[in-house]
């Protein structure tokens, strides 16, 4: 069986981002890479959005960038503007096409469907798949989004609505998210923060239909695209070894309080490629102890007081746009952290901190 220097298990966002980063930095001229991916075809399946707090390789896959965003509850709405760090959405279909077209030009890169097809005994393995099914009773961010198109111009294409809590909460945390790609096209998502066991929350089609009709006031529309997903808001325990480096969601690249992962994957890929020559001795990359700690306390509060979360999220955004963007993108300094923490209700956070 064929041997490889590097093996990437899972050719999704993290696997392909890493392969692309290796390729453009000419690390695969005399090294062989195997990508193990089970899917039969690549097509648009996700929309990755984030604040662009540093440069990445995929500007040409961006559907749209915005400088304005809002958050609202049933009582109030708050708008923020930021020119320095735009909010961007990436079309996964364009991303897969771009990366796969680049990788296909290098004969040192091969795709396989299963790890058993190669000899990986002496390879350095980058793994982006989970060892076993994750616990459904833990906290997840689960959602469904539809890209809708209307015949009239309805959306304000300059403003992203990040969180709209003006909806049925059902004793959990629930909000809608609207990304206007143009005046008549937008991705609308229903998002829940809850366990994954409760089937009663998964009537996503109906939730979207009601929201689009009642809140957005749109009666007629076509659905161009649907995405559905569940992001674990906990880090699964993994066996770490210097021969297997976990990447992507499986490698802890999700920010637990938000579900944002895409840009962390890009940062991790850059870190790996920069250190590829001594990768086996490398310190495991993580998003920072500070954020792990703060998110743990935050999620404890979220689990105990779901009814308070719309106001807590809303108040969190009552700071400068740069502060909140840097905080949510794991790039904040101590002063910015204090600024955010000061917006939180002291008593319940202290209680969550103690136990």
The helix/strand/coil state of 221 is coil
Q: CA–CA distance from 17 to each of 22, 61, 100, 132 (Å)? A: 9, 13, 10, 23
Between 143 and 298, CB nearer to ligand FAD: 143
Chain residue at closest Cβ approach to ligand FAD: 12
If you count them, how many residues does the chain have? 355
Between 86 and 248, CB nearer to ligand FAD: 248
Query: b/e for 16-41, b at 16 or more Cβ within 10 A?
Result: bbbbbbbbeeebbeeebbbbbbeeee
Token output for 238: 């993994």
CB 73 within 8 A of CB 311: yes
> Does an H or E element contain 40, and which?
none
What is the Cα–Cα distance from 156 to 172, expressed in whole angstroms?
A: 29
Shortest Å, Cβ 63 to ligand FAD: 11
Between 287 and 344, CB nearer to ligand FAD: 287
Q: What share of the chain is helix, strand, coil (3-state, %, to 5)?
A: 35, 25, 40
Between 20 and 344, CB nearer to ligand FAD: 20
Shortest Å, Cβ 42 to ligand FAD: 8
Packing angle between helix 334-341 and helix 321-328, nearest 10 degrees? 100
Between 144 and 352, CB nearer to ligand FAD: 144
Shortest Å, Cβ 188 to ligand FAD: 14
One DSSP character per residue, 155-169 reads S-TTEEEEEE--S--
Between 120 and 261, CB nearer to ligand FAD: 261
Residue position matching structure tokens 């000419």: 26
Between 33 and 352, CB nearer to ligand FAD: 33
Quick one: which of 230, 196, 8, 40 has its CA closest to 108?
A: 8
Shortest Å, Cβ 154 to ligand FAD: 22
Binding site for ligand FAD (CB under 6 A): 10-15, 36-39, 46-50, 128-129, 227, 229, 231, 248-250, 260-262, 265
């Amino acid at each position: 069986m064929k041997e490889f220097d590097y093996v990437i298990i899972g050719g999704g966002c993290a696997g392909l981002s890493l392969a692309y980063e290796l390729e453009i930095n000419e690390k695969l001229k005399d090294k062989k890479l195997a990508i193990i991916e089970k899917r039969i075809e690549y097509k648009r399946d996700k929309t990755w959005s984030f604040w662009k707090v540093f440069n990445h390789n995929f500007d040409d896959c961006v559907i749209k960038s915005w400088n304005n965003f809002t958050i609202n509850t049933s009582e109030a709405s708050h708008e923020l503007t930021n020119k320095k760090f735009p909010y961007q959405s990436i079309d996964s279909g364009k991303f897969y096409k771009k990366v796969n077209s680049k990788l296909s030009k290098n004969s040192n890169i091969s795709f396989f469907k299963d790890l058993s097809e190669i000899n990986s005994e002496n390879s350095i393995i980058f793994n982006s798949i989970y060892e076993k099914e994750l616990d459904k009773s833990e906290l997840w961010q689960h959602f469904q989004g539809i890209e809708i198109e209307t015949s009239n111009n309805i959306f304000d294409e300059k403003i992203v609505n990040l969180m709209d809590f003006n909806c049925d909460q059902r004793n959990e945390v629930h909000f809608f998210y609207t990304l206007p790609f143009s005046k008549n096209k937008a991705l609308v998502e229903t998002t829940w923060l809850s366990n994954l066991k409760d089937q009663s929350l998964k009537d996503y089609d109906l939730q979207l239909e009601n929201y689009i009709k009642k809140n957005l006031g749109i009666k007629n529309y076509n659905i161009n695209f649907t995405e559905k997903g569940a992001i674990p808001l906990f880090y699964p325990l993994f066996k770490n070894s210097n021969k297997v480096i976990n990447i992507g969601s499986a490698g802890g690249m999700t920010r637990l309080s938000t579900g944002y992962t895409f840009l962390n994957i890009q940062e991790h890929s850059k870190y790996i490629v920069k250190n590829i020559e001594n990768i086996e001795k490398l310190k495991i990359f993580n998003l920072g102890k500070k954020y792990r700690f703060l998110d743990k306390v935050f999620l404890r509060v979220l689990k105990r007081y779901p009814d308070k979360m719309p106001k807590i999220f809303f108040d969190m955004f009552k700071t400068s746009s740069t502060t909140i963007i840097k905080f949510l993108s794991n790039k904040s300094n101590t002063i910015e952290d204090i600024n955010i923490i000061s917006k939180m209700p002291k008593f319940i956070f202290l209680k969550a901190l103690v136990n």
